[in-house]
Amino acid sequence: MRNAALVLGLIGGVLAMIVGFFVYGYVVFIDWFGEVPDLARQVPDPELKQTVSFVAPIVAIAGAAMARSRALWGGILMLAAAAGIYHGLGFGVFTMFPIACLGLGGLLALAAGRPDEEKAHF
């Protein structure tokens, strides 16, 4: 289950990174060149969109990388990234697969069979 969480988290993180590039680029493009009536308008709350586009893929990939050794932390990070994408970018054609992959990967990491090793966290 941990390996499946790792793979789903990496796939979701890479897809979120691709979506994030386009969202961030669109916001910057409209800032530089201005809105085109009936064609291209600035999104509501562009700072939130830019922040989510940058932070969520990093958190998702970090959670996926942790899924094998620290499944609880990795699962929480992947679920947080999925929730961030859903809240910041919404659920649509381009965000449904990153949200689904990260959500399922996070749930699989949380449901991993053996508990994490008893070690000091720091």
Of the pLDDT bands very low, low, confident and very high (cuts 50, 70, 90), residue 36 is: confident
Number of C-alpha atoms within 13 angstroms, CB side, residue 120?
1
CA 7 to chain CA mean position, Å: 14
Dump pLDDT digits (tens) for 41-73: 999 999 999 999 999 999 999 999 999 888 899
Over pLDDT 70: what percentage of the chain? 92
Reply yes or no on whether the pLDDT at 120 is more than 80: no
Residue 73: the pLDDT is: 92
Q: Which pLDDT band holds residue 122 (cuts at 50, 70, 90)?
A: very low
Domain ranges, ordered by start, for the chain: 2-110
